[in-house]
Chains A and B, each alone.
Chain A
């Protein structure tokens, strides 16, 4: 309960941040050339000035900027993100439709990066400065320097075009809509390459942090005690070292949540996944500023929620944190 209170307080502290972001981006978008009505008129194939004026009045765009901002924030409280003229639907609906693939992709990539980062980090730390360590550390450096979109394209060349093992893009097979377990397998097949592509850079970061943190914890006194009482090395690592060495890794999830969301913009574009990131890209290209602002709100919210979960996890891993709070 105490943990929940602590994390809840952190959550409440992030509300001003969220409002600050919204105000900042809202004002920024006022500087953008063209507004919703311009985009709408262009889509209709042009129109006269009177129609434009009426439409501006209808969307409340003829009001002063502070009033518009006030209106926007007030609507936001009621979870109304406005209307997307490009998609012809409320922004909230458009975003909700696009959210599941992104969340699925992020969860899969995070699990992949976390698990293998942990594994490789432990292997590297246990053979520090020997060949497994050198190999893993070098690979980590190379993965870190690889542009994700390029890795994605090369993976498509190898696995989709040359070997024809996996689909090159999309979220589901369009030709034959499958249901039940086959549908799940179908989606999983489509997500293998995007997951690897998005997870690669995080794998590199995680294994580096895990290695450093293992080396640090392995030198602590209590580990020496554990060894002295005759535990074998595997026991020492799994029972005693791992839990403490995990703390920086968990912190990193929270810090990297935003980067991962940003990365999914690129990865979703490479693999034409119908997710939030691709929606962000499309709304920039189509100048759908209302949707873009909605995406800003939802992605900031997503980062805050991830950090909330990380706080809870953190307190579970290290009871001292809850006790101090």
Chain B
């Protein structure tokens, strides 16, 4: 309760939450406000924003409604961001938990693998994965998740290292609990908070990674994604720069919202750090 109160006392955190709710509302209302396929031909190509009441944000180079694509794009960004983050956190927790709990050679092997993933640039690995597995919505989401787990793994490992010999764990051990029970039931719930807070960073980066991939036309071309639209608008950048400008603002606002909420959560959960 205290944490909640602290959260709402920070104007930045509240602003972030409002922005995030707006993006979620956009994603939820997309099929209600724009029942037609957002990638279908809607009108004349390259209508400027605010010049035609039917297309508030104008149309792109092939005559598709930009506003509809922005609304549906919110879905894609939140979906990819959310699922990829869940995948990254899950892998990170598993790797970090086993490495931190068992130590020794298990730790050594797992940390070597983590290091390998951290040495190879994220985006280069993402390119390799897309080159191998193709670029459908599913593969791109999984690929973004797979390149993002090392930091959550390190965080979880650090927490486990400091928790594994606490009294409550030793008590559990004396009671005859199995390793898996101790890891999942006893230590993990206590190790979660910093990892969950870090999830907001993972999500912000995941959304940026996917949009960059889509901009390079290496993401799924059959969905209305903000990155796709920016890539498309690049062809008409000289005059109709708004085709690229509008979805970029959408990405900016979403990533900003996610970061602000994450920062707000962090400050609310660790009040001592905030006062510095």
Contact = CB atoms under 8 A, between A and B. Distances in A.
Given A280-B127, A284-B218, A289-B131, A296 B120 contact: yes
Interface residues of B, number: 47
B121 A154 contact: no
A42 B203 CA distance: 39
Contacts of A29: 128, 131-132
Interface string A216-240: 1001000000000000000000000
A292 B128 contact: yes
Contacts of A212: 276
B118 A284 contact: no
B87 to A, nearest CB: 17
B255 interface: yes
A114 interface: no
Interface residues of A, number: 53
A144 B259 contact: yes
A24 B134 CA distance: 18
B252 A292 contact: no
Interface in B117-142: 118-134
Contacts of A295: 124
Interface in A118-152: 141-142, 144-151
A17 B216 contact: no
A123 B255 CA distance: 26
Contacts of B112: 16-17, 20
Contacts of A261: 121, 123-124
- Which 6 A-B pairs have CB atoms at the shortest separation, nearest pair first? A262-B123, A150-B248, A145-B255, A145-B256, A258-B121, A262-B121
Interface of A: 14, 16-18, 20-21, 24-25, 28-29, 31-33, 141-142, 144-151, 153-154, 156-157, 161, 212, 215-216, 219, 258-259, 261-263, 265-266, 269, 280-281, 284-285, 287, 289, 292, 295-296, 299-300, 303-304
